[in-house]
Structure 1
Amino acid sequence: MKPNKTYAGYDVVVVGGGTAGVAAALSASLQGLKVALLEKRIALTGTQANAMVTPFMPSHVHGSATADMLTRAYREHMAGQGRLTLPGNMELYSPESFKLLNEQVLTENGVEIFYDATVITADTDNGIIQSVTALIFDNFYMFEAEQFIDASGDALLSRFAGAQLMTGDTDGSRQSVSFRFEMANINFDRLRQYLAQADYTFCDPADETFMEFVHVPGVEACGDLLEVFAKAQQNGELTPEIARYIQGFSMPGKPGSLSFNNPQMPQLGNVEDPQVFSEYVRYGRKMQHQLAAFLAANIPGFEQAFISQEANMLGVRESNRVKGRYVMTANDYAQRRKFDDGIARGDWYIDIHSDDLDVEDESFKKKYDKGEYYEIPYRSLVCGEVANLIFVGRIISCDFKMQSSIRIQHTCRDMGDAAGRACALAKQHGIALNQVNGCDLKGECL
């Protein structure tokens, strides 16, 4: 396999332009480094745009400078197009505008973006990555750099480079996979009136700036929706697997539309298996259309609504994780543990999506009180096997339960920010990424 061309002279190559990858590339570039970002799709921000994971889940802990920069830029970009924030630093956005904004910010700050770039191999010599090769359109291209950031979401680069991986829980179980979609042409006035009469309190139906449409069995805040969905299951109009978790959010700049954080599919097998992956897509698409038809027939406001788009990637919450120099555990969550080399903070709960509704150990508090947090140590972002590699996002070194907390967007952005700063520090001192003293980063990142 001979590359068609070699791109050389980069300080940093970032593999994956998702939530963490965008922040990492921007952070490194802001430190004066020459950065190439390889993204296998044709839009940045990964699950945020391509899997349509909107909005940001709330966090009360302060974000990084890079995260703040992206947030300010988006608010300026969307000024006058609707409500953009909710209490707890919950950021509302629409995927299309988010794609554009992130692309503009990275380009303006010197990041070279390569779309349709699927990394297929890494050339590693004695624990040092020399280059990565990507398939772009219909040919192979090599990218050389001093340092590499794995923000692939599935530890793709780390695996190719020889790092040790971890998958699933101790019993092999995995988190459920979702297939998000949007519905448009919803009559929100009629829907709000109906929800107010149905004793629905999940959000304030009178609030014209935001809508969160939710049905979860047994949750009293859903009001009369509980009875409506129960009857639908009894008469065979809906399956229990569709009705068990429905959550739709309104979006700025998209009046009359909801972004649904479902369907959450049952466990069909290992999503990394090609046949199983394709079955997830087929199965999820069928669930989307069954739910849309039910809503149009039974919920006032949805009569003329339709599926306006589906995500172009599945919502895979976890696959591979890299085994780093420190493996974070659920015990770190329970103890709100702090570290000398802490480079990011987290306060999201142990949020495991599973076929089993009772997935949390009783020793875990459902959510932190405002102001409580744990820290993510730098040692969980680097490993001993590959010296010039740092990994960020949902793939960092942690166990299955802890991963369900660290994977939210605010936290992934802050990890990306720390990775960019670490690359600058490594270059400044002429050392490998896994030799950087994370304590030197703490003051910059927290």
Structure 2
Amino acid sequence: MLKSEDSLSRSFLRKDIQVDLVVVGGGLSGTCCAITAARAGLKVVLVQDRPVLGGNSSSEVRLWVLGATSHMGNNNRWSREGGVIDEILVENMYRNKEGNAVIFDTVLLDKVVREPNITLLLNTTVIEVGKKNADTISSVRAYCSQNATEYSISAPLFCDASGDGVVGFLSGAAFRMGAESRDEFGEQFAPSAEYGELLGHSIYFYTKDIGKPVNFIPPSYALDDITKIPKYKKFSAKEQGCQLWWIEYGGRLDTVHDTENIKWELWKVVYGVWNYIKNSGNFPEAQNLTLEWVGTIPGKRESRRFEGDYILRQQDIVEQRAYTDAVAYGGWSIDLHPADGVFSEKPGCNQWHSKGIYQIPFRCYYSRNIKNLFLAGRIISVTHVAFGSTRVMGTSAYGGQAVGMAAALCVQKNILPNEVLRNGTIAELQQGLAAIGHYIPEISHVNSKDLIRAATIKASSEYILRELSESGITRNLDPAVAQLLPLQQGKVPDLSLHAEADVDTTLQVELFLSQRPGNFTPDVLLESRSIPLVPGRNCVQLSFKSIWMDSGYAFVVFRKNAAIRLHYSLQRVTGILSVFNHINEAVSNYGKQLPPPDIGVDAFEFWCPLRRPDGLNVAMKINPGLNCFQAVNIRNGIDRPVLQPNAWVADLSDASPRLEFTWREEVSIREIILKFDTDFDHPMETVLMGHPESVMPFCVRTFRLLDEHGNVLYQKNDNYQTVNRIILDKAIHTHKLVLEVNHPSQHIPASVFEIQCYA
């Protein structure tokens, strides 16, 4: 029996933990950081002050995960983030293509609890930081409200991914809050005082049709005058959840310490909005709708931003500046919101896109004055304007992965974060990230220990794109469409296609390239053709004079003409894509970006894909065929389409596609890494939005690995993941390794981005 004792002697249960890395914050940045570090061999504690992981992507907030892909609404092709966050998004697609936020919680928790090197502390809040000296953290003290336990967690390295920067703040790390002036960094998009210096919080809600009328009696605190919201006429009974992200408030307040007050104001708005929808009489279609869920904590956008050895700024994003210490990239628009949020007369957001993705240097991911503190998530070292782009969860998670790998190197080499730059370890960090599928623009994966680099490669076939065959499907040329084709040095191939015309008219065709290699913004016009068409079927022959000077993608643009129908193909091939000059208001894409002249961003056209099952390739014949799918691509160090498809693709007529790797001398192989095509152009939004498929159509589902004697080393029949890391029970000694794959479907040939082999 427990006996009461003197109350003055009582204390909470205390546990001391010693690890290699403490990650505070279990949003996507902290989660990806912890997983990456744990897989690299570190003992990690992940401290999360909520009952689930995911932060703004969790079931507590329910915002979808996005990054550089921007709802497929910008010109960043094949830009979905790789590595651990890609693994999570692909897993969620497989388990949860309908976008159930509760299921996404389980995906994240499953990924973490499968890692034996991670100790997960949920419902645990950091309340104190211990210091070894003025610029070094020694420990954090945290408290779990659910088990009344106090933790003292010590480590040589700490990562603050907490959103508000609790560890950075308590440790004395330099930070900023609010917007910088135009003059400080020369940022022309820096907001005025009228617009405001902080982005606010949002609370979302879900509705449900229960099949019979349901009444709603608002709580006493519901907003009673809907006209206080200038955009109240935009409310619709059909919208719910994150679609009303602009129910935002708090940008004029302290977004750290006033969060509870902000939450109450947002609750007032949400219940007032629902009262208006249910009881104003303006929405009879809402009769059977009930309020199924309202967020209990707000989704935070902005609070503290901490200072690293470099502060990313607007010019870095717009000009796509390159850095030798690049470890991540971004691609969301510079997306600022009026500080008055839902009560503002201004549009809910002000988005300006760059022409392509941009690098983020490692110097943004650690504190400049606390030596052993990494930064991850929305608190990294950026200006307020740059924060408008880097703050989104896909980009935040990507930076978290870079920090996790950097922490592993710091422990291995007994160095501090800023020493990763000074002793040349940055290249090792970049290569370690590239090995796990963490693509960094302009960085190729090169590992001298990879046995594939010395192998002779033989393919059973190599795809040559000679034709995207007609399927019988035609579409009106409205909007304009462009076919992306990967070209290599030499004359642009001749093209032929069929166009159906309703009347005598003219087909306008243009040949574009991107001024910057690796971009997918058609901003350099090479040639233009005006081709007269007669009613009915027309054979269109396109012969271009242009000489292609290097590898890169061409845009064959067919300008809008609703009197013309083009033929489309059911063939889909890795690295081949059609794009359209359509409108996507969700990301401020109105076909063309036309900024004011004084904000420092570019004007250009948007050319974006359509989501499957739409977005078919334009049917055409190509002469000579495009021979850019060779087997040698699997060791070029790039595991996604950039300047070329960067994949081995087998010919569709090849009944048994295979790659053979041979070595003159016998080699020892224990580890094999395979990277497949899970369509890096698909944004894979995690919640609310549904998706047409659970497995990406380009992904090889079935593959086998065999030795020189035909013995099966490994076989998988239900693959859906990008990266497959295979550790054999024991090393094999062989002169040959064979990879056999199956075509994903009758219209899609098998492809492989990369193979690595290690002893």
Shorter-chain TM-score tier: 0.7 to 0.9
Counterpart in 2 of 1:333? 317
Structure 2: how far apart are the matches of 1:360 and 1:237? 21
Q: Does 1:135 align with 2:121?
A: no
TM-score normalised per structure 1 = 0.77
Counterpart in 2 of 1:35? 44
Structure 2: how far apart are the matches of 1:236 and 1:312? 22
Give the Å deviation of 1:261.
2.2
Q: Does 1:240 align with 2:229?
A: yes
Matches within 5 A, 1:57-136: 58-59=69-70, 60=76, 61-78=79-96, 82=98, 93-110=99-116, 111-126=118-133, 127-136=135-144
Counterpart in 2 of 1:88? none
Counterpart in 1 of 2:263? 281
Q: Does 1:159 align with 2:141?
A: no
More strand per residue: 2
Secondary structure at 2:112 match in 1: helix
Contact 2:237 2:285 in 1 (8 A): no
User: Bigger CA drift: 106-115 or 48-57?
Assistant: 48-57
Equivalent of residue 376 in structure 1, options 357, 360, 364: 360
Counterpart in 2 of 1:176? 200
Structure 1: how far apart are the matches of 2:104 and 2:417? 31
Give the Å deviation of 1:409.
1.4
Structure 1: how far apart are the matches of 2:317 and 2:349? 13
Structure 2: how far apart are the matches of 1:121 and 1:144? 12
Structure 2: how far apart are the matches of 1:415 and 1:375? 11
C-alpha distance after superposition, 1:37-86 (max 9, x if no partner): 100010100111132212535344241311121122212222xx53xxxx
Contact 2:141 2:153 in 1 (8 A): yes
User: Bigger CA drift: 347-356 or 115-124?
Assistant: 347-356
Structure 2: how far apart are the matches of 1:344 and 1:71? 17
Residues 1:248 and 1:75: Cα distance change in structure 2 (over 3 Å): farther
Q: Does 1:367 align with 2:374?
A: no
Structure 2: how far apart are the matches of 1:129 and 1:100? 33
State the AA in 2 paired with 1:130: S
Equivalent of residue 315 in structure 1, options 299, 305, 327: 299
- Name stretches of at least 5 consecutive residues in structure 1 with no aligned partner: 83-92, 188-234, 251-255
User: Bigger CA drift: 66-75 or 239-248?
Assistant: 239-248
Structure 2: how far apart are the matches of 1:435 and 1:249? 53
C-alpha distance after superposition, 1:230-277 (max 9, x if no partner): xxxxx9654334538769998xxxxx987642422264522333xx43
Counterpart in 2 of 1:342? 326
Residues 1:348 and 1:259: Cα distance change in structure 2 (over 3 Å): closer
- Name stretches of at least 5 consecutive residues in structure 2 with no aligned partner: 1-9, 71-75, 181-192, 212-223, 441-759
User: Bigger CA drift: 11-20 or 131-140?
Assistant: 131-140
* Root mean square deviation, CA, Å: 2.9
Structure 1: how far apart are the matches of 2:233 and 2:120? 40
Counterpart in 2 of 1:54? 64
State the AA in 1 paired with 2:310: Y
State the AA in 2 paired with 1:240: I
Q: Does 1:442 align with 2:430?
A: yes
Secondary structure at 1:431 match in 2: coil
Equivalent of residue 396 in structure 2, options 412, 417, 431: 412
C-alpha distance after superposition, 1:285-307 (max 9, x if no partner): 12112222333343454322222
Residues 1:348 and 1:3: Cα distance change in structure 2 (over 3 Å): same
Contact 1:9 1:145 in 2 (8 A): yes
TM-score normalised per structure 2 = 0.46
Structure 2: how far apart are the matches of 1:97 and 1:317? 24
Q: Which has the larger radius of gyration?
A: 2
How many residue pairs match? The answer is 375
Structure 1: how far apart are the matches of 2:373 and 2:262? 32
Residues 1:269 and 1:62: Cα distance change in structure 2 (over 3 Å): closer
Counterpart in 2 of 1:231? none
Structure 1: how far apart are the matches of 2:129 and 2:381? 20
Equivalent of residue 387 in structure 1, options 371, 391, 394: 371
Structure 2: how far apart are the matches of 1:344 and 1:136? 33
Equivalent of residue 21 in structure 2, options 2, 12, 16: 12
State the AA in 2 paired with 1:185: D
Residues 1:47 and 1:303: Cα distance change in structure 2 (over 3 Å): same
Structure 1: how far apart are the matches of 2:238 and 2:411? 43
Residues 1:183 and 1:388: Cα distance change in structure 2 (over 3 Å): same
Equivalent of residue 422 in structure 1, options 378, 395, 406: 406
Matches within 5 A, 1:170-209: 170=180, 173-185=197-209
Q: Does 1:148 align with 2:158?
A: yes
Contact 1:241 1:266 in 2 (8 A): no
Structure 1: how far apart are the matches of 2:236 and 2:327? 32
Relative contact order (C-alpha < 8 Å, sep 6+): which is higher? 1
State the AA in 2 paired with 1:43: V
Residues 1:318 and 1:267: Cα distance change in structure 2 (over 3 Å): closer
More helix per residue: 1
